[in-house]
Structure formats: structure tokens, C-alpha cells
Amino acid sequence: MDTRIQFRVDEEVKRLAQLMAESQGRTLSDACRELTEQLAEQQRKAMAHDAWLTQQIDAAFAKLDSDQAVFVTHDDAQKRMAERKAKIRNRG
């Protein structure tokens, strides 16, 4: 089901926006629709990332609660990260 969005802008802003949209072969309504769809897609991605991050955090705490978590020293973590970065750099 389609819905209508209404908002107010200055007449000059509307005129200039219409000119720009027309120069691109589309209407101002098309441009507004495209922007709205882009914003909605960005929100979908943000929500999906938030859900993924929450799942990762929950899994980490579950691992901690079940005594399956493995901890490494700071030095070991830095060494592992340096090795990983070197491996990635050497791919190209």
C-alpha cells in the first residue's frame, strides 16, 4: 500500500529542486521517492547490523556463562592481530 508524504519547503527551494530534477530527466516527486527509498534501505541495513551485533554479544556472554570462553593476553592479541594484518597485506 502506497502512502503520501507531505512537507513544506520555501518556493525558491522547490523551484530550484524541480529544475535540477528535470535536468536529470525525472520529476521532483521521483527524486523525493528515491531519497526516501535510500533512507529506508540505510535503516534496514542499520537494523540488520544491530540485530547481528546483539546476536554476537549474546553468544559471547553465553560462552562466558558456560565457562567456554578463552582469554588471551594483550601481548598475544597484538601478536595475532599483527600476523592477521600481514597476511591480508600479502594477498595483493
Does some domain include residue 33? yes
Domain count, the chain: 1
Does some domain include residue 87? no
Please state the pTM of the whole predicted model.
0.70
Q: Strand, coil or helix: what is 70?
A: coil
Give the confidence band of 28 by pLDDT, cuts at 50, 70, 90. Answer: very high
The mean pLDDT value for 38-67 works out to 97
Does some domain include residue 86? no
Does some domain include residue 75? no
Does some domain include residue 31? yes
pLDDT value for 92: 67
Structural domain of 49: 11-67
Does some domain include residue 81? no
The residues, any chain, with a CB within 8 Å of residue 78's CB and separated by 6 or more, are none
Does some domain include residue 50? yes
